[in-house]
Amino acid sequence: MSFELSFENVKKELNFNPKDYEKRVKEINALLESERENPKNFVGWLHYASHINQNLVDSIKKQAKYFRENYDTLVVCGIGGSYLGTRAVIEAVNGLFPKDPFKILYFGQTLDPNYTSQILDYLQDRNFCVVCISKSGTTTETSVAFRLLRNILESKLGKREAAKAIACVTSIGKGALYKMATQEGYNTFELPDNIGGRYSVITPVGLLPIACAGIDIDRFIAGFVRAEEKFNSPELSQNYAYQYACEQNFLYGKGYDIELLITYEPRLQALAEWYKQLFDESNGKDQKGLLVMSSTFTTDLHSLGQYIQDGKKVIFETVLLFNKPKVDVKIPWNEEDLDELNYIADKELSYVNRKACEGTINAHANDGNVPNIVIELDTLDEYKFGEFLYFSMRACAMAGYLEGVNPFNQPGVEIYKKNMFKLLGKKGY
């Protein structure tokens, strides 16, 4: 099974009819593809992977090799779309406690002084390098963090050596980061103008840090390329990404205002953060939009589970499952059986986790009347993950247009920034 999508309790109870969507899906698909003709539209990600320049991939690999060979820690400095996809891939593929001596830290995504001072303290004893990622080049959280990191590097190594420990990903030709990188001689990679942050994980935004984490970016790109072919079809019956977008739209129309992305693995929590950003920043606007949230089971079955089962019927779930775990753990037999677990002794944890999942879907979908969409993939590796990320992006774009909003802008995000700048006394605000 390489990519399966099923709709538990969606069709049978609520009369979902794909025919109601087929024509609009075709029109929106044509619109998306035609938007590629104008570089001012933000659909550069649609076929980025299949057109990626090999020289760019090689230069990313070269930079990653240099960093891995000369430093022991990488600080990924960015916020929102400039770091969430990266973190999602690295944590999903390498796990939360990787044995790799080359460490990856995330910074530039908060203004919290406690987090900041702890990370700076930690870095004092590390031989670290930095990838600073910002499309605009002016995001406050990222700029502040980058200034602090440069200060440490420059006082430790001097300006020339510090410059070797820094690479940037930004828009070419504009913004403070590009200007600084050019002036200071930092290696710089392009984030194309026609790709927004939350759709940018397939560009150097994701590829550079992911390669630094020792992950095979050729396979990651190949997963995206495969997904481009798979989720390109205007025929709803042949396109899982569009089917998913239609189901979301349908359920939202039936009063299910909240979607929970459910995973059964803590290493997918960063993916959930990316996913929430993708859908909510894209489609929550004009006083409407499905609110996409997430939950990690079985952990949250002991907290949120109560509400999902018995609370207000505004939630539906999308359960993301990877069928083959990378490693498994057997529950040992114990002679005394004081904990009464011998009935599952010698069983793999993946088996128990799966039974928990089956039991939960049944409880929520059948007893709790919570519609469940299930997405099943066979393995969680860089290839499959690339495929899933592209699937999500394509579904998100379709869902936005079905809802009647532009999924590629984020006007609401600017308002807090303006207020903050005004309060901080920034010139011009």
Q: Is 302 a catalytic residue?
A: yes
Map the footprint of ligand PA5 across residues 79-138, applying CB under 6 A. 79-82, 134-136
Active-site residue identified among 19, 40, 99, 302: 302
Binding mask 289-328 for ligand PA5 (x = CB under 6 A): ----------------------------------------
Is there binding between residue 198 and ligand PA5 (CB under 6 A)?
Answer: yes
209 binds ligand PA5 (CB under 6 A): no
Please name the amino acid found at residue 180: M
Give whichever of 108 and 386 is closer to ligand PA5, judged by the CB atom. Answer: 108
154: helix, coil or strand? Answer: helix
How far apart are the two ends of the chain, measured CA to CA in Å? 55
Half-sphere exposure of 410 (CA within 13 A, CB side): 17
For the chain, what's the residue count? 429
Compare residues 219 and 276 and give the one whose CB is closer to ligand PA5: 276
Least distance CB 281 / ligand PA5 (angstroms): 6
Residues 6 or more apart whose CB falls under 8 angstroms from that of 419 comprise: none
Stretch of 160-168, 190-198, 260-268, 372-380 contacting ligand PA5, by CB under 6 A: 190-198
Total residues at the site for ligand PA5 (CB under 6 A)?
14
In sequence order, the 6+-apart residues with CB closer than 8 A to the CB of 81 are 135, 196, 197, 198, 199, 200, 205, 277, 281
What's the half-sphere exposure (Cβ side, CA atoms, 13 Å) at 22?
6
Q: How far is the CB of 173 from ligand PA5 (least distance, A)?
A: 15
Q: How far apart are CA 278 and CA 264, in angstroms?
A: 20
Cα–Cα distance, 273 to 85 (Å, whole number) = 9
Minimal distance, residue 214 CB to ligand PA5, in Å: 24
Active-site choice (35, 281, 387, 403): 281
Contact residue for ligand PA5 among 9, 73, 94, 139 (CB under 6 A): 139
Establish whether 37 is a catalytic residue: no
Q: How far is the CB of 44 from ligand PA5 (least distance, A)?
A: 13
Longest CA pairwise span in the chain (Å): 74
Question: Looking at beta carbons only, is 134 or 294 nearer to ligand PA5?
Answer: 134
Q: State yes or no: residue 142 binds ligand PA5 (CB under 6 A).
A: yes
Q: Distances from the Cα of 422 to the Cαs of 41, 385, 407, in angstroms?
A: 30, 41, 28
CB closer to ligand PA5, 169 vs 301: 169
CB of 132 to ligand PA5, least distance (A): 9
Three-class secondary structure of residue 181 per DSSP:
helix
Looking at beta carbons only, is 135 or 267 nearer to ligand PA5? 135
Cβ distance to ligand PA5 smaller for residue 197 or 209: 197
Residue type, 156: K
Q: Which of the following is catalytic: 47, 156, 174, 417?
A: 417
Which residue's Cβ lies closest to ligand PA5?
197
Nearest distance from C-beta of residue 341 to ligand PA5, angstroms: 45
Beta strands per DSSP E along 225-352: 258-263, 291-296, 315-324
Task: Locate 334 and state its tokens.
Answer: 């114990």
Site string for ligand PA5, 63-82 (x = CB under 6 A): ----------------xxxx
Selected from 44, 196, 284, 371, the binder of ligand PA5 by CB under 6 A is 196
Q: Kindly state the smallest distance separating residue 198's Cβ from ligand PA5, in Å.
A: 3
Which helix (H) or strand (E) covers residue 167, if one does?
A: strand 166-170
Among 44, 85, 197, 223, binds ligand PA5 (CB under 6 A): 197
What Cα–Cα distance (Å) separates residue 306 from each residue in 136, 295, 310, 360, 370? 42, 13, 6, 12, 12
Residue with tokens 């303006």: 418
User: For residues 77 and 260, which CB has a smaller minimum distance to ligand PA5 in the complex?
Assistant: 77
Closest CA relative to residue 276, chosen from 318, 230, 215 = 318
Give backbone dihedrals phi and psi of 296, rounded to 5 degrees, phi first: -105, 120
Least distance between ligand PA5 and beta carbon 85 (Å): 9
Please confirm, yes or no, whether 417 is among the known catalytic residues. yes
Three-class DSSP category at 325: coil
The residue to which tokens 């840090």 are assigned: 209
| Cβ-based nearer residue to ligand PA5, 198 or 364 | 198
Q: Cβ of 203: how many Cβ atoms within 10 Å?
A: 26
Which positions are catalytic? 281, 302, 417
Site residues, ligand PA5 (CB under 6 A): 79-82, 134-136, 139, 142, 196-198, 281, 410
